[in-house]
Amino acid sequence: MSNLINRRTFMQSTTLAAAGLSMHGLSRAAGRKKMNVLFIAVDDLRPQLGCYGHKEIHTPNIDALAERGIVFNRAYCQQAVCNPSRASLLSGLRPDTTRIYNLSTHFRQYIPNAVTLPEYFKQNGYHTMGLSKIYHGGLDDPKSWSVPHWGPRANTYFSQKIRDDMQKLRDELEAMGIATSKRVLKRDPVTGTVLQRSGRRAVHGPVWEAPDVPDNNRRDGKTTDKAVELLSQQKDDPFFLAVGYIKPHLPFVAPKRYFDLYPLEDIKLADNSFYPEDVPDCALYSSLELRVYSDVVDEGPIPDEKAREVRRAYWACVSFIDAQVGRLLKSLDDNGLRDNTIVVLWGDHGWHLGENDIWGKMTNFEIATRVPMIISYPGQEKMGAKTDALTEFVDIYPTLCELCGLPIPESLEGTSMVPLMKDPQRRWKTAAFSQYPRRIDKQRMMGHSMRTDRYRYTEWRDRKSGNVLERELYDHRSNSKENVNIANIPSNAKLVERLAEKLREGWQAAKPSARAKVSKRSL
Ligand SMILES: [Ca+2]
């Protein structure tokens, strides 16, 4: 019965939308019966998917979602590492506001009263549920959820031998007095929320494994099982279901059949596996997160054969997650929820697979800051559209508010993308902003990076004085792979000056409605 009502309400809203009614009208129609939200977070997912023009990557299900939604070709995370990126997206605030720049600190430590995206939906009558990795591991936010967060349990590796080898290494380290399993947790005395975690030295096995197992032998498969179960139970109430997937995060473990999609001999290596010309050291990253794995060299070049294996394993994990997304979408259909559920899919940051001679995230380069972002909503007129407009993760929070007919909280630092989704070619933001902190010896820096239509401009500033220590400038019209830093070329001095002023003006001046002092022309 309620499905019928949902469908009828949806038909009213689509009819109104088709009649060219304003967004206000859509909100009003949606407000009669709330739309659901399926919020899919994928860890470390590059925007290298079929729907982003990479036909060599097998992502038929994400591509199907794109066909009924909109693909944001130039979306950027606010900091290219899990906790800061997620804390920013979920609070709708930028890292300089959350002050979360690391992996160990909970955002409630600095902004205890922030109302997160799921929390706001909960306050507005939604049943909010979080599965697996939504906030960064171990730093869940109980206030966000109507029911306790749920996490899947499974070993990281399938093979008993790998697990035995790791235990042996752990025992050896313990015998040397190096703690490997104790976690130091600092909790909020009132809520019990873990505010900080530290103190564990992780032991790592090989970088990839391809066991011949069913999907739900792995944690992400179990998460899908749980999501499918919940979707079958929630069809009568408005819900906000956040489903987090932990692959393609390292180690790249996925069922063998996804590896079989990518014959090793077909795997190509990055064609820019070198540091950019004239790049400052602070822009680079040591690739430590890959090198800690037992089968990867500690230093020096990653041999081509290993590089090929790693890239293949990454893409196998991407296809594994794509299959999970397919099951979620099918479950929406099976439960009659497709016509009243908004779907948003995002990956928390990009990843260098050897590009710029880096393996990992944690940089301000395009390859680490550019992210996949796809949104589909019932009644969407421009289905299958793609937009090259500059967008940011902080835009997701206000967008979902508007789509669901909820007032947009004034404190948010993003812009609702609903007008852009209705007109994907319209003028939009003049820049997207990311940042990354860096410490070299005793020098503490913050790298502020800005992507304009044509350029990526980055300043590395002293954290205390704010003095600019290094600059990077990449011209995406002539060099989209950021292979040559042209900031220090004398003839670019005027351009650098204009970009520096635009970076100082910041995100407020780059909003679609803002009038920036700096001319937008050719930036
Ligand atoms: Ca991540």
Residue 21 C-alpha to ligand 1 middle, in angstroms?
Answer: 39
Residue 48 C-alpha to ligand 1 middle, in angstroms?
Answer: 15
Exposure pattern of 406-436 as b/e (b: 16+ CB <10 Å)?
bebeeebbbbbbbebbbebeeebbbbbbbbb
Question: What is the model's pLDDT at position 519?
Answer: 61
Q: What single-letter amino acid sits at 275?
A: Y
Quote the CA–CA distance of 163 and 183 in Å, as a whole number. 20
User: SS3 for 468-503, per residue?
Assistant: EEEEEEEECCCCCCCCECCCCCHHHHHHHHHHHHHH
Residue 224 C-alpha to ligand 1 middle, in angstroms?
Answer: 19
Question: What is the model's pLDDT at position 11?
Answer: 35
Nearest to 138 by CA among 229, 244, 222: 244
**Dihedrals φ, ψ of 515, to 5°?**
-105, 105
pTM of the model: 0.92
Residue 76 C-alpha to ligand 1 middle, in angstroms?
Answer: 14
Question: What is the model's pLDDT at position 25?
Answer: 39
Angle between helices 396-403 and 23-32 (to 10 degrees): 70
Question: What is the model's pLDDT at position 308?
Answer: 98
The β-bridge relationship of strands 370-371 and 252-253 is: unpaired
Residue 492 C-alpha to ligand 1 middle, in angstroms?
Answer: 35
Quote the CA–CA distance of 59 and 434 in Å, as a whole number. 27
Q: Specify burial of residue 192 (Cβ count, 10 A radius: 0-12, 13-18, 19+).
A: exposed
Quote the CA–CA distance of 170 and 179 in Å, as a whole number. 9
Dihedral angle computed from the Cα positions of residues 71, 454, 318 and 347, in that order, rounded to the nearest 10 degrees: -70
Question: What is the model's pLDDT at position 19?
Answer: 32
Asked if 502 contacts 450 with a C-beta cutoff of 8 angstroms, the reply is yes
Asked if 26 contacts 15 with a C-beta cutoff of 8 angstroms, the reply is no
Quote the CA–CA distance of 322 and 409 in Å, as a whole number. 33
Side-chain-side CA neighbours of 229 within 13 Å: the count stands at 9
Question: What is the model's pLDDT at position 181?
Answer: 65
Q: What single-letter amino acid sits at 454?
A: R
Question: What is the model's pLDDT at position 18?
Answer: 33
Residues annotated as catalytic (active site), given as ranges:
82, 136
Residue 236 C-alpha to ligand 1 middle, in angstroms?
Answer: 33
Q: How long a stretch of residues is the chain? A: 523
Question: What is the model's pLDDT at position 338?
Answer: 94
- Within a 10 A sphere around the Cβ of 3, how many other Cβ atoms? 14
Question: What is the model's pLDDT at position 516?
Answer: 67
User: SS3 for 171-220, per residue?
Assistant: HHHHHCCCCCCCCEEEECCCCCCEEEEECCCCCCCCCEECCCCCHHHCHH
Residue 57 C-alpha to ligand 1 middle, in angstroms?
Answer: 20
Q: Which token pair is 35?
A: 């739309």
Question: What is the model's pLDDT at position 199?
Answer: 61
Residue 30 C-alpha to ligand 1 middle, in angstroms?
Answer: 33
Residue 81 C-alpha to ligand 1 middle, in angstroms?
Answer: 6
Q: Specify burial of residue 439 (Cβ count, 10 A radius: 0-12, 13-18, 19+).
A: exposed
Question: What is the model's pLDDT at position 513?
Answer: 81
Q: In sequence order, what are the residues at sequence separation of 6 or more whose Cβ sits closer than 8 angstroms to the Cβ of residue 255? A: 210, 211, 212, 213, 214, 215, 217, 218, 320
Quote the CA–CA distance of 249 and 330 in Å, as a whole number. 25
pLDDT-flagged residues of the chain (< 50): 1-32
